[in-house]
Amino acid sequence: MPFSEVAIVKGERGYEPVFKALDLIDYKTALQGKDKVLIKVNFITTKTWDTGATTDPIVVEAILRKLAQLTVKPYVVESDATMTNADEAFQATGMKEMCERNGVECLNLRHVEDKVTLQIANGETLDSITVPRIVTESAIISAAKLKTHMQTGVTLGMKNLFGLLPDKMKYKYHLKGISKVVVDITSVIRPALTVIDGFVAMEGRGPSNGTPVQMNLIIAGKDVVATDATGCRVMGFDPHKIKHIMKANEKGIGNIDNINIIGEKLESVTRQFKAAKIL
């Protein structure tokens, strides 16, 4: 595969680092031909952004401001999880207030009735997934969080796509092997852009009970595998040891190694995170 570009931008929490990262990767070309854009946030919990657990509303607002330059209709989306109500999380995290201020709908995918089934060829563990039709008709931006995860090692752009499944009782997918499920989802739903919120990251007992780490970083790319691999390296982890990232690379979904990093130098922003104990 040809080299994938990934932007790393360092800066204090605000719009500018997000604007710069999106411009560096030429975000407009990734969204060509789509009239709807779904910004998928990470709401594993109702905790606020400063805990390192959930996507920062200011990152999403910066993305929305960039999308305003295009002729697209944006939505900010999440679905209920076994332990978390997405509507409550939209409210508690400040995301709903931000969306209302910008005239953008917060969409809980669990309540979208029009669904479509996607067949998965040569899946790791799934033959198909059922998702809201709007997911298949839109460009997806995975607005992920830079954090560890006790089941997958890290949770970045690919793992964030798991929340596009509208089922509330997602534990059944964990029983199938969550890393395999993440690869299968990514094989049929490729995000146009991945934007990893690293203003405040999380180490240790992620994805929700770890320790916040102020990194002041935004990592962005069009190739979700390359973007996630870069996020791993920023946290001091070898992406070849993260099952879902390695398998996605093997299946040709994206690059784990052939990456051209633009913006900050990787070695200047790397910090060794405390790993999550893999369950």
| DSSP letter, residue 108 | E
Q: What is the pLDDT of residue 44?
A: 86
For residue 273, the 8-state DSSP code is P
Which domains are assigned to the chain? 4-269 (3.40.50.11440)
14 SS3 class: coil
What b/e sequence results for 74-88 when a residue is b if at least 16 CB atoms lie within 10 Å of its CB, and e otherwise? bbbbbbbbeebbbbe
Residue of 27, 37, 245 lying closest to 18 (CA atoms): 27
Q: What is the pLDDT of residues 227-243, one digit of tens each?
A: 999 999 999 999 999 99
pLDDT in tens, 108-146: 999 999 999 999 999 999 999 999 999 999 999 999 999
Q: What are phi and psi of 186, to 5 degrees?
A: -65, -25
Please give the pLDDT value at position 279.
Answer: 56
pTM: 0.98
Q: What is the mean pLDDT of the chain?
A: 96
